[in-house]
A and B are shown apart, each in its own frame.
Chain A
Amino acid sequence: MDKIRFATVWLAGCSGCHMSFLDLDEFLIDLAELVDVVYSPVGCDLKDYPEAVDVCLVEGAVANEDNLELIYQVRRNTKLLISFGDCAVTANVPAMRNMLRNSAEGVLKRGYLELADANAQLPNAPGIVPELIDRVTPVHEVVPVDIFMPGCPPSADRIRATIEPLLHGQQPEMAGREMIKFG
């Protein structure tokens, strides 16, 4: 049997979920036996999201144009998409800027003009820094999601309990405090 093609992506999040993923410690060695890591900020050097991915963990909310482009590509090329952590599931801390009038302009003005000590100016680097989208959203508001794994971050135990059944062709049961507590 071919190995499972496994990916992880990092959108608008702090990378804490990926750090928690690395906390899987020796299970990572078992995992490496069963999967090909085809795209991941912590497990692979490839820069382009590949075709025909079996499982992808998505950390982070959708906050800018780059996030949008990547998540559409992930959905197109992935069989099973897992919202990985509170930012992906609820938009969490990155979405707190939505309280500022639900607009990119609102947060940029607040951060770079109103709160500036000196040289107040809006950042402008087209093609280098991705444009913010107006409203930060959880992943499932943009593309369909197959499994939700809340947690800030989900513990290594929860990550293992979610992906281990998938390696054997089974669905994890996302229920109870161990599996679905936010925060």
Chain B
Amino acid sequence: MSVRTLKIDDKDVAVEAGTSIMDAAKEAGVPIPKLCHLEGLTPVGACRMCLVEIEGLNKLLPACVTEVSEGMVIHTQTPKLQEYRRMNVELIFAEGNHVCSICVANGNCELQDVAIEVGMDHSRFPYRFPDRGVDLSHPLFGIDHNRCILCTRCVRVCDEVEGAHVWDVAQRGAACYIVSGLNQPWGEVDACTSCGKCVDACPTGAIFKQGSTTGEKQADADTLEFLYTAREKHQWTR
């Protein structure tokens, strides 16, 4: 095993070669904001919340998909990064239709959490109010595309953990949306095992259990722990 030594926010860190900056920062006890990253799933760098500054590089890189290298000097909390992260969260809010007050995830939402973390008290960008749909064809679950931030955690958990690959991303740019099966209603997709892993993985209220209203929604941190244990230790215990 070869070791790489680096500095994250003035802390010396030594990690195995091939480790991501995100994991190295975790090892060093340096918190980095994230939305699309979920331990146990392949990182994709979709949300850009974990951008960090690396000395000697003039562009910002996402910590989740960037490997450490020898002698790296990394900064995670510069004023520039803080401003960009806040702008990023504002853009995510402005892009979809995020009406917290009527959402099943209100109070248990990772998007709300990062908004608080970056100090967002309002969006400086005008809201787009896109025309997006809701699919309630599945007997147990629903997907509200208005609340989707395209983190692709559902796509990855279904493919990599459940092995069913029900979800994918259709279209490009601002027109992107999550599709089930071959762009079919979710309830008609034979591959879906109704395991609910996508519901568990969703950071917002986009994928939800039917019948879960704002008032009924409970924080369920055990579920993520279950996913992690299942992937890392191959123990499928609830």
Contact = CB atoms under 8 A, between A and B. Distances in A.
A150 interface: yes
Contacts of A95: 127, 129
Interface string B116-142: 100111110011011110000000000
B154 interface: no
Contact of A176 (B103, B107, B116, B130): B116
Given A138-B127, A176-B116, A177-B116, 5 more contacts: A83-B122, A90-B98, A96-B97, A148-B121, A182-B112
A141 B129 CA distance: 14
10 contacts: A90-B99, A90-B122, A95-B129, A96-B99, A99-B130, A138-B123, A145-B122, A175-B119, A183-B106, A183-B107
A180 interface: yes
B129 A183 contact: no
A115 B103 CA distance: 25
Contacts of B115: 180-182
A67 interface: no
Contacts of A150: 121-122
A152 interface: yes
B101 A180 contact: no
Nearest to A136: B129
- The B interface, classified by DSSP as helix, strand, loop or mixed, is loop
B174 interface: no
Nearest to B101: A152
A182 B100 CA distance: 6
Interface string B78-119: 000000000000000100011111110011000010011001
Interface residues on B, range: 20 to 34
A92 interface: yes
Contacts of B129: 95, 98-99, 102, 135
B127 A91 contact: yes
B122 A138 contact: yes
A146 to B, nearest CB: 12
Interface string A151-183: 010000000000000000000001111011111
A183 B116 contact: no
Contacts of B97: 96, 99
A86 B122 CA distance: 9
Contacts of B126: 137, 141
A133 interface: no
